[in-house]
């Protein structure tokens, strides 16, 4: 079995990246889209997929050895529409520390069932039929939510690897959070009450993460949520027409 691999990328892919992909994945074709914005690029690449399953990668990921052997076995259920390869942020470990703290907090609060990750497009294996009807708006960031929602809408489920199988070589882009909130509202992906609810709880959650980790930089999460909420509320206050 071989799969198409889609990679949105502004520039040509480095040879080292291509070699890594072919080493870790049984590749049919590597489909690169240079379109802009990211949502358009992801859609353009998706429209060219011809295999039953495909892999969606960001161009700044490093797959761990044995990636395919850890991801593919999780795709065997009939209702599995996508498998998320867990990743870490080596350039900003506070992101991972915050996530670990939130899992611990949920257990302490009696919420033992772990929530499925958001379906971010860093390293995903996706059933082509599960994404049928996918139409990604021209989002410059955050298009992953559209992909996740479409697969769930089609009656499929997400699963994910227990262990980290990928390094995402980027830092948290707080500066884009306002734009994410604005665009999410405009395309019907975010409601003001939802972001306000999350913003209201974020200081408590982040303080817990700080006490657990001793890392002041985890407070960047509060800034991220505040900017997302501001962008969403700004679009709402301007009367921006929602497309869905």
Dump the DSSP string for 182-226: HHHHHTTS--HHHHHHHHHHHHHHHHHHHHHH--GGGGHHHHHHH
- Judge if 21 and 133 occupy the same domain: yes
Say whether both 152 and 201 belong to one domain.
no
Domain count of the fold of the chain: 2
Where does the pLDDT of residue 119 fall: very low under 50, low under 70, confident under 90, or very high at 90 and above?
very low
Same domain for 123 and 191, yes or no, is no
Residues 63 and 147 placed together within one structural domain of the fold: yes
HSE (CB half, 13 Å, CA atoms) of 54? 23
Identify the residue with better confidence: 113 or 9.
Answer: 9
CATH of the domain at 117: 3.90.550.10
For 113, the domain range is: 3-171
Residues 122 and 27 in one domain: yes
Nearest CA-CA partner of 44 in 110, 118, 174, 135: 135
| Domain end marker among 156, 171, 186 | 171
Give percent above pLDDT 70 in the chain. 95
Residue 84's H or E segment, with its range, is strand 80-88
Selected residue with higher pLDDT from 114 and 151: 151
Residues 114 and 196 in one domain: no
144, 118 Cβ separation under 8 angstroms:
yes
Spatial separation of the C-alpha atoms in residues 108 and 44, rounded to whole Å? 43
Which residue among 139, 171, 203 closes a domain?
Answer: 171
Out of 116, 141, 171, pick the residue that ends a domain: 171
Q: Are residues 109 and 94 in the same domain?
A: yes
Q: What is the pLDDT of residue 153?
A: 94
Determine the pLDDT at residue 195.
Answer: 86
Q: Domain check: are 80 and 194 in the same one?
A: no
49 and 20 belong to one structural domain: yes
Residues 211 and 96 both lie in one domain: no
- pLDDT confidence of residue 55: 97
Is 206 found in the same domain as 163?
no
pLDDT digit string, tens, across residues 98-116: 878 888 888 887 765 555 4
pLDDT, average across residues 204-211: 89
| Domain identity same for 60 and 154 | yes
- Which single residue is written with the structure tokens 């899992």? 103
């Amino acid at each position: 079995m071989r799969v198409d691999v889609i990679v949105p990328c502004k520039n040509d892919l480095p040879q080292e990246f291509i070699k890594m992909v072919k080493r870790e994945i049984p590749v049919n074709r590597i489909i690169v889209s240079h379109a802009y914005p990211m949502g358009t690029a992801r859609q353009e690449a998706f429209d060219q997929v011809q295999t039953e399953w495909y892999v969606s990668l960001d161009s700044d990921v490093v797959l761990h050895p044995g990636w395919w052997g850890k991801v593919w076995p999780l795709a065997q259920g009939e209702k599995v529409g996508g498998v998320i390869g867990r990743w870490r942020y080596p350039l900003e470990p506070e992101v991972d520390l915050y996530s670990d703290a939130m899992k611990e907090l949920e257990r302490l609060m009696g919420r033992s069932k772990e929530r499925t990750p958001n379906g971010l497009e860093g390293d995903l294996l996706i059933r082509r039929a599960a994404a049928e009807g996918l139409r990604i708006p021209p989002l410059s960031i955050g298009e992953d939510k559209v992909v996740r929602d479409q697969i769930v809408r089609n009656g499929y489920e997400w699963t994910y690897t227990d262990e980290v199988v990928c390094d995402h070589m980027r830092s948290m882009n707080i500066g884009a959070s306002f734009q994410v909130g604005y665009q999410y509202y405009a395309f019907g992906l975010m409601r003001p009450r939802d972001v306000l609810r999350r913003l209201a709880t974020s200081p408590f959650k982040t303080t817990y993460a700080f006490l657990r980790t001793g890392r002041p930089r985890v407070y960047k999460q509060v800034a991220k949520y505040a900017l997302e909420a501001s962008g969403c509320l700004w679009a709402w206050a301007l009367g921006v027409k929602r497309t869905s």
